Structure 1
Amino acid sequence: MKAVLIAATVLFHCLGQRCILGQEPLCQSHSSCSECIRSPSCAWCTQTDFLKPGESNERRCDSVESLKNRKCKADHVINPVKHPLTNVKNSDLSDDVHNVVQLKPQNVNITLRVGVPFEFTVEFKRAQGYPIDLYYLMDLSYSMKDDLEQIKTLGQKILKKLKDITQTVRIGFGSFVDKEMLPYVSQVKARRQNPCPNRIDTCQPAFSFKNVLPLTDDASEFEREVSKQKISGNLDAPEAGLDAIMQAAVCKDKIKWGNVTRILVYTSDDTFHMAGDGRLGGVFQPHNGQCLLNVNGSYNGKAYDYPSVGHVSRVLQDNNIQLIFAVTEDIYPAYKALSALIPQSVVGVLKNDSSNVVDLISEAYGNLSSTLVLEQEGAPKELDVSYWSTCKGNKADIEWKEKGECQGIKHEKIAFKVRLNASECLKEPQTFRIKMQGINEEVKITVHTECHCDCGASEKAATYCSGKGTLSCGLCSCDDRFLGQQCQCAQQSDKDSIASMLASCRLDNSSRVCSGHGTCVCGKCECRGKLKGKFCECDDNNCERHNSILCNGKGECQCGKCNCTENYTGSACECSPSQDNCTNDKGLCSGQGKCTCNHCQCNEGFTGNHCSEFINACTKMKDCVACHVQTPDIEGCAVRCFNAKVIRLEGYHELHCTYADTTSYDVKLGFNGTIELQYADLPRSVDKTTLIIGISVSSIIFIGIIIIIIYRCLLELYDIREYQNFVRAQKMTEWKEVQNPLFKGATTTVYNPLHDIEDKEKEHSELD
């Protein structure tokens, strides 16, 4: 909780500006020296006669300026950490090959006070001609066949290009394919020995990683060893790239990394396996981050899963290795995303045959070296570290950041401001490092926190402590059976204690000691200033004010309360006895309120400056009207009518309010608050709603009948006209009964052969 309060105080005083030395937050007082100096901007006065009677020990804790103004002598002021920084090693920046220094200072000790930020400067200048170690890590899966042929002849070109930057260059070569198990690599014996997709080519068996050539400055050896390499092959598209990067980073002795700029060039035309993919092959053990190369410099990958991206990133940072991804265009997005997760890494597009790899390495190294990132490593949780920088060609940081960053840097000197701020006391000195990404140099920082006062030797039986206690840092530690700020209070019994004495200085168990306005000395309150009373509860200058005047000038302040004169009333005597503002033509507050502090306080149901206005009069008197309409018992209705004067008007009247749609009434306020109610019968009227509905329905029916009659008439006229046309057409038609020459009647001839036989027989008989 204390740390939160300190942080909030620091934030409040640093809001809207950079917090620097000399702009410290306000002091939060405490009752002991050690607690005092843990509060930002506080100092402690050890002077024995510094406090006035009744002042608490907390008054010893204040800002240095306040303590001096209150006559605390300079040699009695405890204000530690005047010189917080000590340089243990602060060598100048140097380009000397034998003594390269790129980061300054190298080792410092810093002493902090809790909540008080401290700033110091870290300088960086990249050394010209700084040695470079470049390890070329190549994917040897079958699709990289033409790339391998190209790389076999590039050793001299790579060294020559890098020697434009520095004269000392070493180059090495490693290769990778995939884990030697299913489903990554075929386990068929013939395919295992020769994983090439066709029988014409000859390939070497697959492997996870192989250190072909440790770092060397002999370009010819690089070309010889690389020329011996054969392409390999595997089953799935992703490769064991992260496995290979891990081994190339952690096997420092076998790769022979030097204490120089370390560059790892990774070339591939496909994606990579990540942590968890090893489970497909039955490998569940997470990678242990150790060097796993055998005596031949190979790693088969069967024991451990692929490493995670975060694990690889951390290992590269720990070993100050800068990573260049040289990949083909179709997988560029995947490696761009990977590079975003790995500090000090860049991605370049590699041609299909790797012919541009030399220019790509040179350009990528230039991009890496032009970006500076300064960050801490191993800082304790109680310590906040932030950075502020101004870089050439860049705008100055407008706020403190978690890292110091600069872009577009060549060989100019860059200064970073580093701010340290402790939120809590450290139990012991803590050491952490500030380093530049990709650089093996660092600033070692040992932080101490000043949380205890050095007040010199304690004085036993001190005179200031009445000879009954030990004086240290201006405070008395009393002997047994003695109490008090100066050990002046003797215990009469075992029941006497600081707690019991403090209890006698409290008004009740929930109140503060001496009401917070004094000090309890030997069970009695010694009040500060003009305060008085047994518990310092009376303050004759702390009464309420009216118009910024104590007790409105119309009373006397006694123990925090105003005793008013001249008939004035109120907690601040603000109420005048006059009744001018409460009177109108209807009397005092219109008879419907009381005048308090020359202001009307109205009865329920009334409002206005003089209580002359009703609040919803119709509703208020509705019950009264109902009583008179339903049961006209004047005496019985008096209570329900609030003793109003009720008048029934003759005839029909339409007044302001209505009751049951039969009665109208109006309410007025007479002199001295008399309520006057008039009511009468409402004029009788036709139900307009029923009339309108009846007229509307009748009109619709009538119009409908008219439309039907008109339609029937028109239809009848149409039928008559059509009949007449028919008759007329019939009369005009002439029918003549003459023979049609074109018509022939039907002729039917029936021939019976039997008749012919009978005729012939008849003829023969006649002849005979």
Structure 2
Amino acid sequence: MGRNRVFVVICIAALTAYISAATWEEGEVSDGEVLQSSADFPCHSLSPDNYTCSACIQLHDTCAWCAAWSFNNETQFSRCDSLANLIANECPQNEIVSPKTTLSKTIDEELRDGDGEQEDIQIRPQEIDIRIRPKSKTRFHVKFRQAENYPVDLYYLMDLSYSMKDDKEKLSTLGDLLAARMKQITRNFRLGFGSFIDKKVMPFVDPRKEKQVSPCSEGCAPTYGFRNQMSLTKDTDKFAKEVDKALISGNLDAPEGGFDAIMQAITCHDIIKWRERSRKMIVFSTDAGFHYAGDGRLAGIVTPNDGECHLDAQGYYTESIDQDYPSIALLHQRIKEKKVNMIFAVTQNNRQLYDQLVEALPDISSSVGVLANDSSNIVQLIEEEYEKIAEKIIMVDNANSSMGLKLSYRSKCLEGKELIDTNVCDGIKVNGQVDFEVTLEATHCVDQRDFELKIGPSGLDDSLKLNVHVICDCDCEKEEVIEAPECNGRGTLACGICKCAPGFVGKHCECDSGGETAFTLESKCRKDNSSLICSGRGNCECGVCKCFQRSNPLEQITGQFCECDNFNCPRHDRKLCGAHGKCNCGVCECEPGYTGPACECPTSTDTCLSKNGQICNGHGDCICGKCHCRTDEDGSRYSGPFCDICPTCPTKCVEYKPCVMCQQWGTGIYNESKCEECPFDVIPVKELPVLDVAENAESETWKECQFVDPSDDCTFYFLYYYDGRDNLTVWVKEEKDCPSPLPVLVIVLIVIAGIVILGLLLLCLWKILTMIYDRREYARFEQDRLNARWEANENPIYRQATSTFKNPVYAGGQEGRNKAD
């Protein structure tokens, strides 16, 4: 039966865990089914001055509150606990306040491409309502798909300083090509054009009057900050004409006032004619750097840029000489608010500067492209950079820490196998779909309870609307009972607890605080700051501890802080204070004749007496009625119940040996004075006596001893004997047994003879080896001599002193030859 019950409990726990996990995936958070009863459980850390239902549910997402009036008054349990603990502690379930995090999709339309009658939908769902507890999380999925022919508004913002003259001319010839290329990307396309120079004030421009009218020698237009040359329109044929009509101007310093132009192009929504739902793009074309906030002080302009629209009827920026340049932070804020995509088309020598600018604009869809010296590659550059921006999805939101809300993203993007922490996906083509897992976390409560968050891809107006309500309050707190009888008419009853009127504290507002807070009164019931109220064994009533009563009337809890009792003392043999004392506040008070932490030690030493009448045989201490043996100075270690066993101690033979040697032969390690201290006098005898003792006599009563005297290597013998009265008698044999002397001369002669014989043997061996070697060499010589072949009639190395030869042209006879010889 017991096994079946355990099995059922395990099954219920597993089912509860499964349901909790499934609820988490759907957007709800479990109530925390795990029992927590330790003192450091977060739900138990409410301070007395803020012991309310709302404070409880804000502590942790597993905390619940018991609103039943009788719960805390009849039990010792905390009202703020886990749901499982409150149920286990018998709080009525209809009185438990444990709000759940919930999520519901209010608008969830299918993704679609737009047509003439309806707009496209690129993000799903479109609206979600969320109720979330503090310290809680909820997850949901957001899908995004790029629609075909999504509206694009492209505003070309060009630097028209004199160095960009050839670029303007090239752009005017390529204007129609730019419009045609963009219409290939999307049929729903509009194009606009604006230009900028710089502020018309020293030191940015030449102050001379003639230069103010025409800053360059070829009849340029006067310098201006920004001008909207052509608002966004579907009539893209006008673009080339407007660019051609725009006049070049000039200024002095290298950086230009491009930030003023970007700010006006973004904020003048109605004048530029940005559409509400479109991909808004600004192509910023220049061959120079930029001025930013603070540079205006060089011209005495100290008023910060307000980030608002200031264009007149002709499209000129009117605050150019009155407001400073925008800061990068303000620019980032406006770009993010208006969801604008930036393409910086700059020359190679400015590439690094604008790369750093893009890095300073996080969560913004922007890119940098290298512009040819005459802008001949502008069409290709815009097309390539547009694709980079359009194919990169950056999910952004407007949540921040001041709301107490936090959003995080995970996605597999297109080809991933596992979810990774990212809000960016690349390579998203038209009709390509990507799924993001979004987690919303409520970190803490703020004064505001309702928030409207928006999640969507950077640079697009499509977004998911989140209507978030943070559950920081309990409904039962709105149903207060004023002057409730449960609170003695001194407070209001809400969520099962009394909120006392000023000057009163306590569960029932029964205590007159005397100007002190509930926390101060409660601190009087703590022994120190780290201890529990009344040591966890009583209730604090008006600053005084009332200790709990035990079921056993003989067991009592006492003390100012209920810190003492008469049942928590050391035990011996499972008996409190060894049954020889009384327990008083954790300490045993022993009866006479006993001592020790548990009164386990008798003060008498009778149980430690050895046979010789000594306590622990003189080699130990009697502690708590038992011998604790010690180690003597000579290193001897004793053991046994009476310290009478010493395996490492020397025997009596070894102990008496020095005395025998010094008294009988005057040898050994003892000198005369030490020898006189010996406890006995030896009795020299011819032969040691044979003692007739009982077979069962102890081995230490008598013994015959034998040693070798190192002074002469002779063996001596002695016998000791103890009679029944502990009298010691030692007999020693007068004569030692000495070995016969060695014949030294014989040994020396034998050694010499051995050496001589060995030498002769070695000589003979050498001679034999030498003879063998000589014989082998002679035999080899004879063999070589026999093998040699010589001519018998002539020495092969002999040559005569004269030679004979015949003259081939001489015809004479013998006489002639002789003459020749």
Q: TM-score, normalised by structure 2?
A: 0.60
Task: Quote the offset at 1:366 in angstroms.
Answer: 1.5
Q: Distance in 2 between matches of 1:408 and 1:566?
A: 92
Change (3 A) 1:212 1:613: farther
Match of 2:309 in 1: 291
Match of 1:561 in 2: 587
Amino acid across the alignment from 2:473: H
- Among 255, 264, 271, the alignment partner of 2:272 is 255
Q: C-alpha offsets along residues 235-281 of structure 1, whole Å, 9 cap, x if unaligned?
A: 22111111111111111111111121100001111211222222222
Q: Distance in 2 between matches of 1:481 and 1:297?
A: 70
5+ residue gaps in structure 2?
1-23, 35-40, 636-670, 673-821
Matched, 1:349 2:376: no
Matched, 1:28 2:39: no
Amino acid across the alignment from 1:61: C
Q: Distance in 2 between matches of 1:371 and 1:111?
A: 32
- Among 178, 189, 207, the alignment partner of 1:187 is 207
Q: Distance in 1 between matches of 2:167 and 2:515?
A: 93
Q: Distance in 1 between matches of 2:300 and 2:285?
A: 28
SS of 1:127 mapped into structure 2: coil
- Among 239, 242, 250, the alignment partner of 2:259 is 242
Structure 1 window deviating more from structure 2 (352-361 vs 366-375): it is 366-375
Match of 2:186 in 1: 166
Amino acid across the alignment from 1:369: A
Change (3 A) 1:234 1:549: farther
Q: Distance in 1 between matches of 2:481 and 2:424?
A: 54
- Among 40, 43, 63, the alignment partner of 2:64 is 43
Give me the CA root mean square deviation.
4.8
- Among 495, 504, 508, the alignment partner of 1:473 is 495
Match of 1:385 in 2: 406
- Among 213, 237, 253, the alignment partner of 1:220 is 237
Match of 1:629 in 2: none
- Among 554, 557, 580, the alignment partner of 1:533 is 557
Match of 2:760 in 1: none
- 1:544-559 counterparts in 2 under 5 A? 559=585
Does structure 2 retain, via aligned residues, the 8 Å contact 1:115–1:423?
yes
Task: Quote the offset at 1:191 in angstroms.
Answer: 3.3
Match of 2:292 in 1: 274
Q: Distance in 1 between matches of 2:584 and 2:241?
A: 105
Q: Distance in 1 between matches of 2:513 and 2:198?
A: 83
Change (3 A) 1:451 1:193: closer
SS of 1:299 mapped into structure 2: coil
Q: Distance in 2 between matches of 1:261 and 1:75?
A: 53
Q: Distance in 2 between matches of 1:261 and 1:208?
A: 26
- Among 475, 500, 507, the alignment partner of 1:454 is 475
Matched, 1:416 2:437: yes
Amino acid across the alignment from 1:277: D
SS of 1:211 mapped into structure 2: strand
Does structure 2 retain, via aligned residues, the 8 Å contact 1:425–1:450?
no
Task: Quote the offset at 1:562 in angstroms.
Answer: 4.4
Amino acid across the alignment from 2:389: L
- 1:55-74 counterparts in 2 under 5 A? 55-56=75-76, 59-74=78-93
Number of aligned residue pairs: give it.
Answer: 578
Task: Quote the offset at 1:354 in angstroms.
Answer: 1.4
Q: Distance in 2 between matches of 1:498 and 1:183?
A: 67
Does structure 1 retain, via aligned residues, the 8 Å contact 2:135–2:441?
no
Match of 1:713 in 2: none
Structure 1 window deviating more from structure 2 (231-240 vs 459-468): it is 459-468
Change (3 A) 1:112 1:611: farther
Amino acid across the alignment from 2:143: E
Does structure 2 retain, via aligned residues, the 8 Å contact 1:600–1:609?
no
Q: Distance in 1 between matches of 2:439 and 2:526?
A: 53
Q: Distance in 2 between matches of 1:250 and 1:481?
A: 58
Amino acid across the alignment from 2:496: G
Amino acid across the alignment from 1:155: G
Of all paired residues, the percent bearing the same amino acid is 36
Q: Distance in 2 between matches of 1:231 and 1:549?
A: 107
Task: Quote the offset at 1:374 in angstroms.
Answer: 2.3
Change (3 A) 1:561 1:312: same
Change (3 A) 1:70 1:186: same
Q: C-alpha offsets along residues 310-352 of structure 1, whole Å, 9 cap, x if unaligned?
A: 2212111111110000111121111111111122210011111
- 1:722-733 counterparts in 2 under 5 A? none
Task: Quote the offset at 1:513 in angstroms.
Answer: 4.9
Q: Distance in 2 between matches of 1:27 and 1:485?
A: 22
Change (3 A) 1:550 1:415: farther
Amino acid across the alignment from 2:452: T
Q: C-alpha offsets along residues 71-104 of structure 1, whole Å, 9 cap, x if unaligned?
A: 33322222123x5334454444332243233333
SS of 2:436 mapped into structure 1: strand
Change (3 A) 1:464 1:297: closer
- 1:117-196 counterparts in 2 under 5 A? 117-196=137-216
- Among 323, 333, 337, the alignment partner of 2:356 is 337
Task: Quote the offset at 1:427 in angstroms.
Answer: 4.5
SS of 1:195 mapped into structure 2: coil
SS of 2:288 mapped into structure 1: coil
Change (3 A) 1:503 1:188: closer
Does structure 1 retain, via aligned residues, the 8 Å contact 2:399–2:406?
no
Change (3 A) 1:362 1:466: same
Change (3 A) 1:265 1:553: farther
Q: C-alpha offsets along residues 628-677 of structure 1, whole Å, 9 cap, x if unaligned?
A: xxxxxxxxxxxxxxxxxxxxx99xxxxxxxxxxxxxxxxxxxxxxxxxxx
Change (3 A) 1:302 1:418: same
5+ residue gaps in structure 1?
1-16, 602-607, 615-648, 651-768
Task: Quote the offset at 1:223 in angstroms.
Answer: 1.3
Change (3 A) 1:572 1:117: farther
Match of 1:686 in 2: none
Change (3 A) 1:144 1:70: same
Amino acid across the alignment from 2:43: Q
Task: Quote the offset at 1:373 in angstroms.
Answer: 2.2
SS of 2:465 mapped into structure 1: strand
Change (3 A) 1:551 1:93: farther
- Among 345, 354, 362, the alignment partner of 1:326 is 345
Task: Quote the offset at 1:157 in angstroms.
Answer: 1.8
Does structure 2 retain, via aligned residues, the 8 Å contact 1:389–1:396?
no
Amino acid across the alignment from 2:158: M
Structure 1 window deviating more from structure 2 (171-180 vs 34-43): it is 34-43
Task: Quote the offset at 1:506 in angstroms.
Answer: 4.7
Amino acid across the alignment from 1:255: I
Q: Distance in 1 between matches of 2:379 and 2:457?
A: 26
Q: Distance in 2 between matches of 1:275 and 1:497?
A: 56
Change (3 A) 1:591 1:71: same
SS of 1:28 mapped into structure 2: helix
Change (3 A) 1:76 1:329: same
Matched, 1:516 2:536: yes
